[in-house]
Structure 1
Amino acid sequence: MDRTRGLDERPSSAMSNTSSTKSEKEDMWSSMLSSVASSKRLPHKSILVLGGSAEGQKEFVESLGGAGGSTGGGNRKGEKRPPIANEFALGYTYLDVLDADHEDVLARLGVYLISEPTPSFIPLLRPLFTPATLPETLVVILLDWSNPWDWMRSIKTWVRLLRGIFTSLDDDCRRTLDEVTHAWETRRSTHTDAGGGEVTIPLGPGEFDEPLGLPLCVVCYNADKIEMLERERGWKEEAFDFVLQFLRTVLLKHGASLIYTTPSAPSPIRPLILSLLSIPSSSRQQPLKHNVVDRDKVLVPPHWDSWGKIRVIREGFDVEGIGSGWSIDISPGSTDQPGVEDGAMEIYEEVIKDPRRGDSKGLNLLNKSGGSGGIEVSAVDTQVFLAGQLELLEAKAAEETATRGGKEDKYNTASREEVMEHVGPVQFNVGGIQVDAENMLERLKEREQTRASEQEPVPPNPASGEGKSQNEVLNAFFTALMKKKGATKGTSPGS
């Protein structure tokens, strides 16, 4: 009986073992799937690119590694790169941030692009700012070195536009903006000492006193145009230093970073953007190092600048006045029209003149050597210039035609004299006697003049008078020849 009972219990134990093994396999697969799913949940970041031309925006995206870039990012090999749609209104593209080995995706970037601060585009921008996206968003303002005289006006317009959008958001978004601002400020003021403890450093004067609400980076692209400004516009080191000091003073108030870039030249813009978005980069990458010496490779990292460092560039720059004036410029009650009292933008445009306005003073405020004349010259219309040149050519042609006759006579006389000098006296042989034709003609002329002075001429028949004169000349000519011939024959026997 016991054996039968044991045999009856075996199938039940086998079934329990099979079910437990099956449940373990299901748990294993579910854990694996959940781990894979969690690894596929990539952090999504957003970049809002403001200003710049369509080409400038494309170069910026390519510098991050997307749309054909080759600087440590972008898509994997064989994958089709996404297009950049930035021709109309609000543009968009995306790209994956890869690690140094181009194997793992660190994050996915959604890049929104807008060129003009048109108020009609505000409804397109407002949906981009939600409580979920605001902590992961970076604002980038593009400035072109082709027109540095418009920089302050451009920054002012974009800052005021963003502030207008942020004030119109709901309460949840505004609370999120306050949290982002506090986290960004804490990131600057917290420092780790040598012992590993955190030390709170107070903010310096003029630093982060006009927070925008989001991290801000200003990219001044086409830095290769600096040489053109120096060569064609007469810029000197004083002008470039003034622009750099002004930019740093203004951006310090917003806690922003600054970088100059050159097309097709390596730059640290990618690690700068990744650090601003808090995307973990390669462990082999060196930390960002500031550069304020090379005028075409400037890099001011976030939380690094101060008034003291700005003053070191060149003495005499009013950091306090520019900072106070900028607060007036971006206040809600100010206007975009020039002439704002105590505004910083007016000071900038007074020194960095727009050549299109035809102002003759230009950069002489910074040029110690001075000079009474202006640097800029207004261009004349092409048709007006050509018409003036045509009038000058016609007047010159008429003058040459009027004086051509006298010049030709002088030229002919001079030519004869030169021919006589080169050829010499003309002689010919008559009966073995060398006769100087020029001397003979002179003697005939003298003889005719003597006869005319001795007797009054009676008006003869023109034909007979002309024949007589010719006969006399021939008679005198042959008489002289006969005399010379006889004298030659008489002297030859005694020789």
Structure 2
Amino acid sequence: MVGLDQMMSSSSPNRGSKAAGSNSRPSSKDGSKKNIWSSLLDGVANGKRLPEKNLLVLGGTPETQREFLETFSADPSLVNEKRKGKKPPIANQFALGYTYRDVLDADQEDTLARVSAYLLSEPSPSFAPLLKPLLTPQSVPETLVVLLLDWSDPWTWIRRLREWVRLLRSVLVSLDDETKIVMEETMTEWRDRKRGMDASSAATGGLSNSGGPVTIPLGPGEWDEGLGIPMCVVCQGADKIEKLEKDHGWHEEEFDFILQFLRTLLLKHGASLIYTTPFLANSLQSLIHSSLGIHSLLKRQSLKHNVIDRDKILVPANWDSWGKIRIIREGFDMEGVSTAWSIEIQDPPEPIDQPAAGQPGENTDSADDGSSAVTVFEQTIKDPKRETTIAHPSTTPRDQLEVESSDMQGFLEKQSEVLEELKKKDDKDRASQPIPQLEMSPMDDQGRVNEHIGPVQFNMGGIQIDADDMLKKLRDREASRSQRKEGISSPGDEKAHNQALANFFAGLVKKPGGSPRGSPSA
């Protein structure tokens, strides 16, 4: 359309000059005709222009960012086959990524808005110049910051949240005055919305008896540190809560502490909080749409808080308060945590994976005396793997289920030494014990064995053989053979030997109950 307007404006002088030389219509009428076309074209363009919304997705990995976009784009009630498979690609492998999504109405036909998603995984100060152009006086009112956390490492949440807030503050401070004014107006609008109501109904506001708008005073710890842009914290992978409970021995105290800590900090920024589980229905889409001001023309979407189900937590913006946080579990120091957080977010961002000095929870923060909110959190919610690495065996918690394995070669060397010691002990015990002696030999004692087992017979090739008779004949044969070897044999002995063999085979043939080989057995 811009190109069309330019062509029309560039061609109109030539047409006016021709008209002046050929007695055509006055040029004033040509100018009015041009204005009519421009207004018509602009009206059609404005009618088809989609509302532009922006999501600034911070944290997570390329995979978890894609998971968030899939959950945000999913429609649990209807799938339009015509649009299926036409989702735009996601470019989020390096530095600042980008993609977009069209938000469809309940009938999946009308497009309500186009959401541009900018994705950044690491809170490095080097990426601050990439975020600055995204925040303009026009884009700030239509932008929502989404911070992704994951239940695979909840002990890093507060440190990550702190570094992202520090990075955002460093970017927002560097913006021009016009953008800062718009940010202040945006935060004022969010802060003044009536709690517990949708943005559409909150915009009308309540009325007092005098007819003026009702102003609800802010409670302690609310909107102390507004960032100038609405923020939503999404804790992904809530199905891992059960794994933390079974594998690492976590209890309700740990989960309640995490929830109280997060809600206390997010209350200062006016941010919302939600726990999500992959492939399960949740209120993420409704929360994002409500935060961006996207409302269906056909179906009213309700957004209700949930602070009971530990894997389906939903805390909308402007709903929470210290009183609601305190009842989760007594003993939580909201005042101390809130004050410490306001102090430490003033510093510039630091690397998240900085080496810990000493035990878990200790770090090189300026407030390493225990007053840092990050330190307080990490002293209570510890990394189970790091805890087992540095813990002394005598001080290891009884509910600790993980142990750190030693080096393979060192383990085998120790086991080899243990096996050698056991072998020596066995040899020593074996040498000290007397060798057991048999009281009798079944070959020598004929009486006692025969009393118990009786005559031993077996069938050999169809011939029934008496084992006792066979043994006796073998002994006789061995005796005659030994005599022959000693040189005392004589022709008569040889004859006796042959006679013995003949008698042996004759006995095999004539054994009662047997039959000669080759003949049918009786």
Query: TM-score by structure 1 length?
Result: 0.70
**In 2: Cα distance, 1:70 partner to 1:296 partner:** 19
Is residue 230 from structure 1 mapped to residue 245 from structure 2 by the alignment? yes
Equivalent residue, structure 2, for 1:199: 214
Q: What is residue 406 of structure 2 aligned with on the other side?
A: 381
Distance in 2 (alpha carbons) for counterparts of 1:283 and 1:415: 102
What amino acid does structure 1 have at the position aligned with 2:65?
Q
Q: CA RMSD, aligned part only?
A: 3.9
C-alpha distance 399-248 of structure 1, shift in aligned 2 (>3 A): same
Give the alignment of 1:265-344 within 5 angstroms. 265-332=280-347, 337-338=364-365, 340=367, 341=369, 342-344=371-373
Is 1:138–1:277's contact at 8 Å kept on the other side of the alignment? yes
Q: State yes or no: 1:348 paired with 2:363.
A: no
Q: 2-side partners of 1:294 and 1:101: how far apart?
A: 31
Aligned to 2:149: 143
2: CA distance between counterparts of 1:108 and 1:428? 100
Write the distance in 1 (CA, Å) between the matches of 2:78 and 2:120.
Answer: 26
- Cα pair distance change 1:303/1:427, threshold 3 Å: closer
Return the offset for 1:248: 0.4
2:505 alignment partner in structure 1: none
Deviation at 1:377, TM superposition (A): 4.7
- Residue in 1 aligned with 2:387? 358
CA spacing shift, 1:409–1:139, aligned 2, 3 Å = same
Is the contact made by 2:55 and 2:118 (CA closer than 8 Å) also made in structure 1? yes
Cα pair distance change 1:339/1:29, threshold 3 Å? closer
Is the Cα–Cα contact under 8 Å of residues 104 and 112 in structure 2 kept in the other structure? yes
Matched residues in 2 for 1:289 and 1:36: separation? 39
Deviation digits for residues 349-397 of structure 1 (CA, Å, limit 9, x no counterpart): 11111234336999xxxxxxx9964726541235144444444445445
Instruction: Tell me how far 1:119 sits from its aligned partner.
Output: 1.6
Change (3 A) 1:328 1:36: same
**Partners of 1:40 and 1:294 in 2: CA distance:** 43
Question: Which secondary structure state, in structure 1, belongs to the residue aligned with residue 331 of structure 2?
Answer: coil
Where 1:259 maps in the other structure, the secondary structure is: strand
Q: Summarize the Cα distance change of 1:428–1:153 in structure 2 as closer, same or farther, 3 Å threshold.
A: closer
Return the match for 1:177 from 183, 193, 202: 183
Aligned partners of 2:438 and 2:207: how far apart in 1? 101
CA deviation digits over 1:261-280, x for unaligned, max 9? 01111100001000000111
In the TM superposition, what whole-angstrom CA distance separates every residue of 1:440-486 from its partner, at most 9, and x where no partner exists? xxxxxxxxxxxxxxxxxxxxxxxxxxxxxxxxxxxxxxxxxxxxxxx
Partners in 1 of 2:258 and 2:404 — Cα distance? 26
Q: Corresponding residue for 1:167?
A: 173
Where do residues 46-61 of structure 1 align in structure 2 (5 Å cutoff)? 46-61=54-69
Q: Is the 8 A contact 2:341 2:373 kept in 1?
A: yes
Q: Check whether the contact 2:286–2:301 (CA below 8 A) recurs between aligned residues.
A: no
Q: Which is higher, the Rg of structure 1 or of structure 2?
A: 1
* C-alpha contact (below 8 Å) 1:64/1:73 kept by paired residues: no
Query: What is the aligned counterpart of 1:93 among 87, 99, 110?
Result: 99
Contact 1:258-1:299 within 8 A present in 2 as well: yes
Task: Return closer, same or farther for 1:75/1:272 CA change in 2, 3 Å cut-off.
Answer: farther
CA distance in 2 between counterparts of 1:182 and 1:427 reads: 106
State the distance in 1 between where 2:448 and 2:274 align.
Answer: 79
TM-score by length of 2: 0.67
* Map 1:7-18 → 2, pairs under 5 A: none
- Do the aligned partners of residues 402 and 174 (structure 1) sit closer, same or farther apart at CA in structure 2, a change above 3 Å counting? same
- Per the alignment, residue 229 of structure 2 pairs with 214
* Cα distance in 2 for residues equivalent to 1:56 and 1:65: 14
- TM-superposed deviation, 1:54: 1.6
Aligned to 1:41: 49
Identical aligned residues as a percent? 50
- Number of corresponding residues: 395
What SS does the aligned partner of 1:139 have?
strand
How far is the alpha carbon of 1:205 from its aligned partner? Answer: 0.9
Instruction: For residues 209-266 of structure 1, give each alpha carbon's deviation from its aligned partner in whole angstroms, at most 9, with x where no partner exists.
Output: 1101100000000001101111111110111111101110000000000000011111
Specify the alignment match of 2:355 in structure 1: none
Maintained 8 Å contact 2:220/2:322: yes
Please, which runs of 5 or more residues in structure 2 have no aligned partner?
A: 1-33, 196-201, 352-363, 456-522
Higher relative contact order (CA 8 A, sep 6+): 2
Q: Could you say if the C-alpha distance between residues 154 and 193 of structure 1 is closer, same or farther in structure 2, counting changes exceeding 3 Å?
A: same
Other structure's SS at 1:192 match? coil
The whole-number CA distance in structure 1 between the counterparts of 2:180 and 2:168 is: 13
Aligned equivalents of 1:380 and 1:148: distance in 2?
Answer: 24
8 A Cα contact 1:249 1:323, kept in partner: yes
Asked whether the 8 Å contact 1:224–1:296 carries over to 2, the reply is: yes
Q: Residues 129 and 30 (structure 1 numbering): CA distance in 2 closer, same or farther, change over 3 Å?
A: closer
Secondary structure at the aligned position of 1:143 is classed as: strand
Q: Once the 2 structures are TM-superposed, how far is the Cα of residue 331 of structure 1 from its aligned partner?
A: 2.0
- 2:19 maps to none
Q: Note the alpha carbon deviations across 1:41-73, whole angstroms, 9 max, x for none.
A: 10111101111122111110001116xx76768
Equivalent runs, 1:341-490 vs 2, <5 Å: 341=369, 342-358=371-387, 373=398, 375=400, 377-383=402-408, 384-397=410-423, 399-400=425-426, 409-410=435-436, 413=438, 423=449
Task: Report the equivalent of 1:65.
Answer: 73
| Aligned-partner Cα distance in 1 for 2:265–2:401 | 27
SS of alignment partner, residue 46 of structure 1: strand
- Aligned mate of 2:140, from 109, 134, 137: 134
Taking a change above 3 Å as real, the CA distance of residues 99 and 353 of structure 1, as seen in their structure-2 partners, is same
State the shift of 1:197 in Å: 6.9
